[in-house]
């Protein structure tokens, strides 16, 4: 059987998954997104043209590849239409290549407003969400009052009933609110017509593709440390970004996943609130932020920056069963006199080397670092592992040891061409398959 690969974030997101997915796509017949919403933002450069994708897998930039949005994703139809129109403007036609799960839940117009209110209510303890209504849409899904794509396309009277109930629940949450259900319903009816041509049974499509030996890539959004169950709760996203999300968010069995590629930056970043043990606050943080252009693709928010945290990546490797890492943005470290890898945390209760569940353990925790010499010769644009400066190779080796997983891919720039596939790695074997 051809190896189907899951590509997911091993840190707090923005690892450069878009570039890696885009790079691997020619080896696959379909790319399937399994969770999250349009808060995710993949930036891909193709021959100097910038594409920013939020909902549609970046596989769409490759003709002939089917792009799938699974049931685990929550969909704001307006955001989806906007993305489709934007792609059309850039010469990319999605018709016949986009498949949206009939079981995916819809983000309703007022979910956004609920998001803002919920953050305001949390005050100091705010999560730092993108306020796009994604959390409240997942809340409605779990609260069993959500509206799915198949409901939007189905019987009008049943849809009217569902919308009435959902709006009623919403009016009870927001004090003195009397939102009318009818305009919400009318808008969904309009959306239905445009959505219809893209909607289908994703699980069935994938099962058929896999049986016919057509390779599928499972694409994660956000990342493991933002996973609702395994991330730094409550500073997390509302879905399972880690490997379990592939099965629940697409309706595929675990055995369909033949390999797991974890994407990690050569340093660490995080957008929004929550713990970040290796966070830097000095000029070095500014240096990483500017060189790495660490500003959110969706919101433009500056990202918090720190050294590579092997405790975090080792934890991710365990949760996801990562076979190989794609190490991105190595070039951002070019020219630094020394580079550091965090291998443990010094806490009030002693040193720890496993990522803790209780965030209070991380309060005041001091990273324990291995310090290595930096490199003067740039890695930027290098395409062969043995052409990397010795010190960069040593950094990668130490990072692999500390993370307990090999780097199959090293990315040395944002362009597709600026990539190293490590000889005789799991990734090279996956690449050899077509």
Q: Which two tokens stand for residue 235?
A: 């500073």
Q: Residue 41 or 77: which CB sits closer to ligand GDP?
A: 41
Gap between the Cα atoms of 108 and 97, Å rounded: 25
* Long-range residue pairs from 175-180, CB within 8 A, at least 24 positions apart, any chain: 179/110
* From 22, 27, 38, 42, active-site residue: 42
Question: Which has the closest alpha carbon to 266: 169, 165, 374?
Answer: 374
Closest distance to ligand GDP from the beta carbon of 430 (Å): 19
Does 313 engage in binding with ligand GDP (CB under 6 A)? Answer: no
Closest distance to ligand GDP from the beta carbon of 421 (Å): 13
Q: Residue 328 or 343: which CB sits closer to ligand GDP?
A: 328
Q: Which helix (H) or strand (E) is 53 found in, with range?
A: strand 49-53
Q: Which two tokens stand for residue 179?
A: 């939102």
**∠ CA(254), CA(222), CA(67), 5° rounding?**
65
Closest distance to ligand GDP from the beta carbon of 367 (Å): 23
Which of 99, 226, 332, 405 touches ligand GDP by CB under 6 A? 332
Does 329 engage in binding with ligand GDP (CB under 6 A)? Answer: yes
Q: What is the x/- site pattern for ligand GDP, positions 284-303, by CB under 6 A?
A: -------------x------
Does 383 engage in binding with ligand GDP (CB under 6 A)? Answer: no
Which of 166, 232, 278, 412 touches ligand GDP by CB under 6 A? 412
In this structure, the strands spanning 407-411 and 74-75 are: unpaired
Does 17 engage in binding with ligand GDP (CB under 6 A)? Answer: yes
Does 83 engage in binding with ligand GDP (CB under 6 A)? Answer: no
Among the residue ranges 122-130, 274-282, 399-407, 408-416, the one whose residues contact ligand GDP (CB under 6 A) = 408-416
Q: Residue 16 or 408: which CB sits closer to ligand GDP?
A: 16
Does 245 engage in binding with ligand GDP (CB under 6 A)? Answer: no
Q: Is 323 a catalytic residue?
A: no
Closest distance to ligand GDP from the beta carbon of 113 (Å): 26
Which of 328, 379, 403, 425 touches ligand GDP by CB under 6 A? 328
Among the residue ranges 11-19, 112-120, 133-141, 282-290, the one whose residues contact ligand GDP (CB under 6 A) = 11-19
Q: For residues 275 and 235, is the Cβ–Cβ distance under 8 A?
A: yes
Q: Residue 82 or 301: which CB sits closer to ligand GDP?
A: 301
Q: Which two tokens stand for residue 384?
A: 């062969």
Question: Which has the closest alpha carbon to 315: 356, 274, 275, 261?
Answer: 356
Letter string b/e over residues 263-277, b meaning 16 or more CB atoms within 10 A of that residue's CB: bbbbbbbbbbbbbbb
Contacting ligand GDP within 30-59 (CB under 6 A) = 41-43, 45
* From 14, 22, 331, 370, active-site residue: 14
Gap between the Cα atoms of 432 and 419, Å rounded: 16
Q: Residue 187 or 298: which CB sits closer to ligand GDP?
A: 298
Gap between the Cα atoms of 97 and 177, Å rounded: 41
Does 8 engage in binding with ligand GDP (CB under 6 A)? Answer: no
Q: For residues 1 and 258, is the Cβ–Cβ distance under 8 A?
A: yes
Q: For residues 53 and 211, is the Cβ–Cβ distance under 8 A?
A: no
Residues with Cβ < 8 Å from 272, sequence gap 6 or more? 127, 128, 129, 235, 301
Which of 76, 411, 422, 430 touches ligand GDP by CB under 6 A? 411
For residue 193, with 0-12 CB atoms within 10 Å meaning exposed, 13-18 middle and 19 or more buried, which class applies?
A: exposed
Q: For residues 108 and 138, is the Cβ–Cβ distance under 8 A?
A: no
Does 105 engage in binding with ligand GDP (CB under 6 A)? Answer: no
Q: Residue 8 or 104: which CB sits closer to ligand GDP?
A: 8
Closest distance to ligand GDP from the beta carbon of 293 (Å): 6
Q: Residue 277 or 413: which CB sits closer to ligand GDP?
A: 413
Closest distance to ligand GDP from the beta carbon of 11 (Å): 9
- Where do the DSSP E strands lie in 70-198? 74-75, 98-101, 105-106
Q: Is 42 a catalytic residue?
A: yes
Q: For residues 220 and 245, is the Cβ–Cβ distance under 8 A?
A: yes
Residues annotated as catalytic are: 14, 42
Residues that bind ligand GDP (CB under 6 A): 9, 14-19, 41-43, 45, 297, 328-329, 331-332, 411-414
């Amino acid at each position: 059987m051809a190896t189907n690969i899951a590509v997911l974030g091993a840190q707090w997101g923005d690892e450069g998954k878009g570039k890696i997915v885009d790079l691997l796509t020619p080896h696959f017949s379909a790319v399937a997104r399994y969770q999250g919403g349009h808060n995710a933002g993949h930036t891909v450069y193709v021959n100097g043209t910038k594409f920013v994708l939020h909902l549609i897998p970046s596989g769409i930039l490759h003709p002939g590849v089917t792009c799938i949005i699974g049931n685990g994703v929550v969909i704001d139809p307006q955001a989806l239409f906007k993305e489709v129109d934007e792609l059309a403007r850039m010469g990319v036609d999605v018709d016949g290549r986009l498949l949206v799960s009939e079981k995916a839940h819809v983000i309703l117009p007022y979910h956004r407003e609920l998001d803002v209110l919920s953050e305001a209510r949390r005050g100091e303890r705010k999560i730092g969400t993108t306020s796009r209504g994604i959390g409240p849409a997942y809340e409605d899904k779990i609260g069993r009052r959500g509206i799915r794509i198949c409901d939007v396309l189905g019987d009008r009277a049943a849809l009217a009933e569902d919308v009435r109930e959902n709006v009623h629940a919403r009016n009870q949450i927001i004090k003195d609110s009397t939102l009318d259900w009818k305009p919400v319903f009318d808008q969904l009816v309009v959306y239905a017509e445009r959505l219809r041509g893209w909607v289908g049974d994703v699980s069935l499509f994938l099962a058929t593709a896999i049986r016919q030996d057509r390779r599928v890539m499972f694409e994660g959004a956000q990342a493991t440390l933002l996973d609702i169950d395994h991330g730094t709760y409550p500073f997390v996203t509302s879905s399972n970004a880690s490997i379990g999300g592939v099965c629940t968010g697409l309706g595929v069995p675990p055995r369909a996943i033949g390999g797991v590629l974890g994407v990690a930056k050569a340093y660490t970043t995080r957008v929004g609130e929550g713990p970040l043990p290796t966070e830097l606050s000095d000029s070095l943080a500014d240096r990483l932020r500017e060189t790495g252009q660490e500003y959110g693709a969706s919101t433009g928010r500056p990202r918090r920056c720190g050294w590579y945290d092997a405790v975090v990546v080792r934890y991710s490797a365990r949760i996801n069963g990562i076979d190989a890492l794609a190490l991105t943005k190595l070039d951002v470290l070019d020219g630094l006199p020394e580079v550091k890898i965090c291998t443990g945390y010094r806490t009030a209760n002693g040193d720890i080397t496993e990522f803790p569940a209780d965030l209070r353990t991380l309060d005041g925790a001091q990273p324990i670092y291995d310090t290595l010499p930096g490199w003067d010769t740039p890695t930027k644009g290098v395409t062969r592992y043995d052409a990397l400066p010795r010190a960069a190779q040593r950094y990668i080796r130490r990072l692999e040891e500390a993370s307990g997983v090999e780097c199959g891919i090293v990315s040395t720039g944002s362009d597709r061409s600026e990539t190293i596939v490590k000889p005789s790695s799991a990734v090279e074997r996956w690449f050899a398959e077509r």
